[in-house]
Structure 1
């Protein structure tokens, strides 16, 4: 049976599955676990009796390929070689760490004083403890260096020099540690998405308006012509041209191998994309609706998002994942679990375009890079009319660069995706009541505002509101942390920051269900006006 299967696989190129009923397991699930704990004595004895290495040794002897004494000599040499290799590997691992430890100790030994206040040389004690560690790891050294830094006596005559030397040591070694432990989460070469030169869409003087889905369709048409290794696949993508007709006619034009349908199996759709990308194909993987992405989240998080990082930049899989979400009535196609996704797939960029023109620009940017990304098209935007760019397939929208949709002076409103249109409606309503809102579309959540455009806005308005349709504490909290903590915008606020979000549950059915589940223009108006009233009640009297 085995020979027949192997022959079928090699000669006919058909996949073959062998069901192996008995197999030995010399180790447990991990090297830290013991399989003796959960196997019966009979099973353990069976594994010893049928140890494949022992069986192979017997087979070699019985077939007179080599004698038992010759095989024992081979085993001895192999054991000796393995021990030497193990020792060399251990030395190669430990010697650089010991040199880092010695460099730190040398800095400490330049001082020659005891703490006058505590009458004890705490710095010396920490350094001596570090010296005594036979095989230190970097954790030991960094921990000791930080403790030493905090215990440098204020009375020490060489305090400033010692602190300066310690700071330099930490800075230098933290830079090395970053390369060793935290680099290559995203592409860092010239093929980085962040290094693609932006190119704006160009519009003719005579405006041509088309449904948004036609912009996506025509953009893919250009890209399929340009990139011969580009393939697009997903549920209903091929024959019917996608559930929103964004691939209309493309299968007929480019064939079933390049624009194809799949079964309802999100995890393996993404798996196909990863495999193809590893082999030099440029796959566009469609997950039909954003909340269906959850079925592929483990593969996306564990495999794709970590690939570049866990191989230290040696392997890449530039997969473009396209989906659609936001603002559809009912439970199943309206989930917006942005916070769950962006906190699970660091290593994959996430774009949240407000319309199809922006979405197409993100796809064009991605195809010029080796990064992978998730692009969430606004589900209610396919039939909305948009101005058609003249340079379809050529313009490129940069990632990580928010766009100021409307300048304002009183408060900064941050949002993205389908929420932008709702925000624009609310901004107009607020204008009638004297509130000048600066509306900013972040455009991408990963990366987020790499040029600190939002910070500059807050320096002007001194107030901030974050608005989306994720759950409370979701993506709005993520944006708040980015802006207030990372960008340091908290210092410029004159009022508390606020978030405007959906309810904790999925949207209820019908238009009314959506209205009372997701934030609407009235919610945005009331939250922002209430904040302005608390800030300046005389200028903005209470109206609720």
Structure 2
């Protein structure tokens, strides 16, 4: 099997989907001729033509609104919002239209569309290019939310999202775009060489939405994470010498509650890690669910390690991120509680 970066895996997923289904269309700002700001759609316009892969004006409202109309009509748009930070003008369309079409029409219409968005930090983009808005979408009934942590899952989840009959928000961690993130560092490091990348099958395959993965088995405590933080959690557990079980959620909606409950009941302790801000972050929902379903198995309070509750300047990006030091301290404190 070939080895791919996450960018290459995403491009392969879209290519496979467009080849299999003529109803799949791709559009967004600079995604056609230029191939996207991160080159995730590079070469697709040349291969499939300007009617299936094309550029749009700088209007997230227009991109998402057009995609909703196309999806209701019978197409399967896979659109790109250049940065997750730019999605807010289109939020009303996603909440009031995309998420509700199936329910408002009593099943007569569906909205099979994907909104891809680079999310999180890693490029020194500060508060205008590095936000992690997943909790804004997990609160909306009718949307599905996926966050891959590696190229294999990125391809499999994206194909599954494109084939899904309902709207999917697909958040792509920018720090993982060009190679596996070395979670042992609190600062940028050179990406690993190409031969160290994970294998990704050619052709069609899917990773089911709603299925978590155990990235590291353990018996001391459970770490719930997604995206970049999966790698950070693994590094932290290794550095402090705790036998932690790392659960990669992969999709936040639908959530694999069964996998979470099974792990926490086994370990009796739980630490939640995410890059987004603490207050009302998705970690609060995870903590509530663990408390509701695993209360009599818990040996310590549930801990959360997150980003700051404040915008941050570009230069402080790597202090804002939960790194192995902060996560490791939370693991030790939870074990000692």
For normalisation by structure 1, the TM-score amounts to 0.57
Partner of 1:334: 130
Name the structure 1 match of 2:267: 461
Shift of 1:418: 1.3
Match of 1:391 among 196, 199, 202: 202
Whether 1:232 and 2:39 are equivalent positions in the alignment is no
Pairing 1:94-243 to 2, within 5 Å after superposition:
204=1, 208-243=2-37
Q: Which residue of 1 aligns with 2:223?
A: 413
Q: Are the counterparts in 2 of residues 266 and 292 from structure 1 also a CA contact under 8 Å? A: yes
Preserved contact between residue 335 and residue 506 of structure 1 (Cα < 8 Å): no
Q: Within 2, Cα distance between the matches of 1:260 and 1:323?
A: 17
Partner in structure 2 of residue 191 of structure 1? none
Structure 1 stretch displaced more, 324-333 or 439-448: 324-333
* Residues 112 and 163, structure 2, Cα contact 8 Å, conserved in 1: no
Query: Moved runs in structure 1, 4+ residues, more than 3 A?
Result: none
| Secondary structure at 1:238 match in 2 | coil
The residue number in structure 2 matching 1:531 is: 334
Indicate the residue corresponding to 1:440 in structure 2: 247
Q: Secondary structure at the match of 2:87?
A: helix
Structure showing greater Rg: 1
Partner of 2:214: 404
1:279 to 64, 70, 73: 73
Cα offsets for 1:395-429 (capped at 9, x unmatched): 11011111110011111000001111111111111
The correspondence for 2:236, drawn from 422, 426, 432, is: 426
What does the per-residue CA deviation read over 1:473-519, in whole Å, with 9 as the maximum and x for residues that have no partner? 3111011123322xx11121011111111111123212xx1232221
Cα distance in 2 for partners of 1:471, 1:320 equals 25
The DSSP-based 3-state class of the residue aligned with 2:276 is: coil
Offset at 1:300? 0.5
Does 1:363 pair with 2:168?
no
Contact 2:264 2:290 in 1 (8 A): no
Contact 2:3 2:200 survives alignment (8 Å): no
| Distance (whole Å) between structure 2 residues aligned to residue 307 and residue 354 of structure 1 | 30
Tell me which protein shows more strand as a share of its residues.
Answer: 2
For the 8 Å contact 2:237–2:331, the answer to whether it is kept is no
What is the aligned counterpart of 1:303 among 72, 92, 97?
Answer: 97
1:526 CA displacement: 0.6
Quote how far apart the aligned CAs of 1:340 are: 2.2
Partner secondary structure for residue 102 of structure 2: helix
CA distance in 2, matches of 1:408, 1:507: 34
**Separation of aligned partners in 1, 2:210 and 2:13:** 22
RMSD: 1.5
CA shift for structure 1 position 264:
0.9
Could you tell me whether the CA contact under 8 Å between 2:9 and 2:154 is conserved in 1?
no
Which SS does the other structure have where 1:376 is aligned?
strand
Query: Structure 1 CA distance, aligned partners of 2:137 and 2:311?
Result: 16
Count matched residues. Answer: 318
Question: How far apart are residue 290 of structure 1 and its match?
Answer: 1.1
Report the counterpart of residue 508 of structure 1 in structure 2: 313
State the SS of the aligned residue for 1:467: strand
Which ranges of structure 2 fall in alignment gaps of 5 or more residues? 180-193
Q: TM-score, normalised by structure 2?
A: 0.90
